[in-house]
Amino acid sequence: MKRREFSLSTASAVAASALTLPLSMNAQAQARAFKEGKDFVKLKKPVATDAPAGKVEVIEFFWYSCPHCNAFEPAFEAWAKSAPANMAIRRVPVAFNASFVPQQKLYFALEAMNLLPQLHTKVFHAVHVERLPLNKDDAIFEWIGKQGVDVAKFKEAYNSFNTANLLRKAAALQEAYQVEGVPSMGVAGKYYTDGTMAGNMQSVLQVVEYLGSLKA
């Protein structure tokens, strides 16, 4: 969503398929020839990665208020649990304008407090099912308090130097990968793909596995 429109119906179908179909690369995916310039692009300038030695960094660029990211989340979460062992997978919240920043800070504060396993999915639910406008500081703090989290500690993480630094890094990654919309994926500091290029988000995950298998 934003800058490009992704197919919500396709993303929803992918989310539903996560309940019944494995998303790791199968024989059909292996047989498909993914093409540079069509299914993915290779960055003109490689991006430094934080992946451990021998690992391929995979980044999901997302935004909590994006309905397509919400629809894709169950499929992505299921895929991440069974993805190839050589992949170091992480999420990066994006900001196409200043209104996105509170939700970026929400993500990074939850990450700092080790609360993502409990609350990441709940944020999507709050925004898209409960229709809560978690896009301003006070609304976020109120919601966090209702989750049983120490609000004072959360505010400290939310407004910390570490979070400010992560915002700068996220902005740099977003620019370096030339993120056109969300959900989208960056691979190995070299490649970028999204639902528009690959055709749908299940294909995106197959493209990611293909790119992760390429030799340096």
* Residue count of the chain: 216
**DSSP secondary structure letters along 13-41:** HHHHHTTTS--S--HHHHHS---BTTTBE
Q: What is the pLDDT along the chain (216 residues), one digit of tens a residue?
A: 545 443 333 344 444 444 334 444 444 455 467 999 999 999 999 999 989 999 999 999 999 999 999 999 999 999 999 999 999 999 999 999 999 999 999 999 999 999 999 999 999 999 999 999 999 999 999 999 999 999 999 999 999 999 999 999 999 999 999 998 999 999 999 999 999 999 999 999 999 999 999 876
Q: Specify whether the CB–CB gap between 60 and 71 falls below 8 A.
A: no
Parse the chain into domains and list their residue ranges.
41-213
Evaluate if pTM is beyond 0.85. yes
Q: What is the pLDDT of residue 186?
A: 98
Q: How far is CA 121 from the centre of its chain?
A: 12
User: For 3, which DSSP code?
Assistant: S
Q: Which residues contact 47 (CB under 8 A, 6 or more apart)?
A: 173, 176, 177, 186, 189, 190
Decide which of 3.40.30.10, 3.30.360.10, 3.40.190.10, 3.30.43.10 is the CATH code for 41-213.
3.40.30.10
Q: What is the pLDDT of residue 151?
A: 98
Please give the Cα distance from 206 to 34 (Å, whole number). 9
The arrangement of strands across the sheet holding 184-187 comes to 41-42, 191-194, 184-187, 56-62, 87-93
Q: What is the pLDDT of residue 163?
A: 98
Q: What is the pLDDT of residue 215?
A: 73
Q: Specify whether the CB–CB gap between 213 and 24 falls below 8 A.
A: no
